[in-house]
Amino acid sequence: MSEYPDGSTLHEATSGKWHRLEKGIRKGTFLIEFSDTLLVNIHVNAKSIHLLMLEDDIFRYMGDFSFEGLEDHRKFLFYSLGIDHVHFNNGDIRVDNPDCSMSTVFVKLSHDKRKETGDKLQGL
């Protein structure tokens, strides 16, 4: 780990490649490269996955998935101050965020809904 004047630090990903993370980001259990501009920082104990995006040669926090309520409530949370819009069904339904009021999206999961949707898509 190496310190920079702006407080950013170097951290090693699972690939062995080193990446500069903005000040305040703690490396989780696993730091995984999804692309040249996207890192996934997995925190197993906190049950969360942080998304880090490259900007000006530094990976910056863009949001996180939290799975704390998955076992009890069957839902997970996505949080980000950078949500531009959310869309569903490949864009069929789109919710814009023009006034920057949306920062949290909860998704509730259900085995019954999965089966119902699968049956509907198959025409059953």
Are 31 and 47 in contact, with CB atoms under 8 Å apart? Answer: no
- Residue 3 is predicted with a pLDDT of 76
What is the model's pTM? Answer: 0.82
Are 14 and 32 in contact, with CB atoms under 8 Å apart? Answer: yes
Answer yes or no: do 77 and 112 share one domain. yes
Per-residue pLDDT reduced to its tens digit, 1-22: 557 999 999 999 999 999 999 9
Answer yes or no: do 73 and 114 share one domain. yes
Q: Name the pairing type of β-strands 38-43 and 85-88.
A: unpaired
Distance CA 74, CA 59 (A): 31
Distance CA 22, CA 54 (A): 10
Answer yes or no: do 4 and 43 share one domain. yes
Q: Look over the chain and give the mean of its residue pLDDT values, rounded to a whole number.
A: 91
Which residue range forms the structural domain that includes residue 29?
1-66
Per-residue pLDDT reduced to its tens digit, 53-69: 999 999 999 999 998 87
Q: Which of 29, 47, 66 is the last residue of a domain?
A: 66
Helix (H) or strand (E) holding 105, with range, is: strand 104-108
- Residue 58 is predicted with a pLDDT of 96
Answer yes or no: do 52 and 77 share one domain. no
Higher pLDDT, 104 or 71: 104
Are 20 and 59 in contact, with CB atoms under 8 Å apart? Answer: yes
Share above pLDDT 90 across residues of the chain, in percent, rounded to a whole number: 66
